[in-house]
Homo-oligomer: A and B are copies of this chain.
Amino acid sequence: MFTINENYLKLPGSYLFSTIGKKVAEYQAANPEKPIIRLGIGDVTQPLAPAIVEALHKAVDEMGKAESFHGYAPDLGYDFLRHAIAENDYKARGCDISEDEIFVSDGAKSDSGNIQEIFGMDNRVAVCDPVYPVYLDSNVMAGRTGVYREDKGCFDGVIYIPCTEENHFVPEPPKEVPDLIYLCFPNNPTGTTITKEQLQVWVDYANKNGSVIIYDAAYEAYITEEHVPHSIYECEGARTCAIEIRSFSKNAGFTGVRLGFTVVPKDLKCNGTSVRDLWARRHGTKFNGAPYIVQRAGEAVYSEEGKKQLKEQVAYYQRNARVIYDALKDLGYTVYGGVNAPYIWLKTPDHMGSWEFFDYLLDKGNIVGTPGCGFGNCGEGYFRLTAFGSYENTLEAMERIKKL
């Protein structure tokens, strides 16, 4: 008789955003006349920029003609895209990353879920608390997290790094040394950032202890301040200890287009075995490339027109972040993030629980946000709002919150 992967049964009921989706659908079904504003799931709302649309149309036409048709893509992604990435995201920032260290994928969620697979089952995993659920859940599924302690609401085998008001939501290297460390900056969900000096401390710690940092930089386009690094490879020594995951979802509105990439430097080795080669093997065996038309759209992100248009698009969301941040501040809320990130992290009023505030905001304001506790124990009492709504909806949402 076959058996199932029992580790799946250790997971909480359902994926956080699936739960929110269901709750909202139920509320909407019961209250069809209520105009709900969604500032919960980090999904963008602005249309694709003209340069992207043009590139997509052009690539579609190519696919419709025998002489320019494209079948299976190269394992790592098309050269034209990896070249654009290497030049714009790395070389232009003084980071030493070559094209064959870049792996194009269908998105940062897949990559951040799959990356753990190339590491041993005995690795100790560290995640920040609160944290994007995929890092932890994918390690739970793999069986790397030990038993779930219902009373403590955490896994025995995981090192949780608290990110709290006290440390300004910047994690500090833990005393017990982890093997795999997930870091995400600008941070989801807190919207806070790390300075280059603070990140250098982590890189040095990882190199000293033989740890790997899995660095999720999906929100780097939202950085406005000079001292905040866009890539971990801006830190010295990162090539021997860090993997970086990037997304086109938030800098180019690709949440429904699906494109991302992961950088695994050739200098990252375990007793002589190249981690890059393991990821290449996984990529080649269990993935078959991002669509040609989507990779062409990715290329357009780096064109002159694309850059210009996307700068405006990001600025649009940044304005929303400012609107939310300022409005909540004015109302006396304690608010974090929003400056170098599209997320606003607020303390729930009157010591409400995160889910309690979720229900309250949905019911009284018809606004969907994300309960902080969905990201971990330290997120309890907090709530995440995103800047990815339309400007009008963002203003309207703030008006509604004012009237609560």
Chain A contacts to B: CB under 8 angstroms: 1-6, 8-9, 11, 14-15, 18, 41, 43-48, 50, 52-53, 56-57, 60-61, 63-66, 69-73, 75, 106-107, 109-110, 113-114, 117-123, 133-134, 137-138, 141, 179-180, 209-212, 253, 255-258, 270, 273, 275, 278, 281-282, 284-294, 390
Contact = CB atoms under 8 A, between A and B. Distances in A.
Contact of A60 (B53, B73, B117, B119): B53
A273 B2 CA distance: 12
Nearest to A137: B285
A134 B286 contact: yes
Contacts of A210: 1-2
Contact of A11 (B47, B56, B212, B281): B281
A60 B64 contact: no
Contacts of A121: 5
A56 B59 CA distance: 10
Contacts of A122: 3
A118 B211 contact: no
Contacts of A114: 286
B69 A61 contact: no
B2 A286 contact: no
A275 B281 CA distance: 28
B46 A53 contact: no
B64 A5 contact: no
B45 A71 contact: yes
B291 A291 contact: yes
Given A138-B286, A179-B3, A48 B72 contact: no
B47 A278 contact: no
Given A56-B293, A257-B291, A141 B63 contact: no
Given A9-B273, A289-B258, A69 B47 contact: yes
Number of this chain's copies in the complex: 2
Most buried by B among A4, A63, A123, A138: A4
Nearest to A292: B256
A89 B15 CA distance: 30
18 contacts: A2-B180, A2-B211, A3-B123, A5-B118, A5-B120, A8-B282, A14-B281, A47-B69, A48-B63, A48-B69, A50-B64, A109-B286, A110-B288, A117-B141, A133-B285, A256-B289, A257-B292, A293-B293
A71 B292 contact: no
Given A1-B179, A256-B72, A288-B106, A66 B47 contact: yes
A270 B41 contact: no
Given A210-B1, A286-B114, A292-B256, A46 B72 contact: no
B53 A69 contact: no
A213 to B, nearest CB: 10
Contacts of A390: 66
Given A4-B270, A256-B72, A282 B63 contact: no
Most buried by B among A1, A52, A292: A1
Contacts of A123: 2-3
Nearest to A67: B47
B293 A15 contact: no
A141 B210 CA distance: 23
A255 B113 CA distance: 24
A15 B279 CA distance: 12
A109 B287 contact: yes
Nearest to A241: B2
A75 B107 CA distance: 14
Most buried by B among A64, A209, A290: A64
Given A2-B123, A3-B270, A113-B286, A281 B66 contact: no
Given A45-B69, A106-B288, A109-B288, 16 more contacts: A1-B210, A2-B120, A2-B210, A3-B179, A4-B118, A4-B120, A15-B285, A43-B71, A50-B64, A52-B64, A56-B293, A57-B60, A60-B60, A72-B256, A258-B288, A293-B293
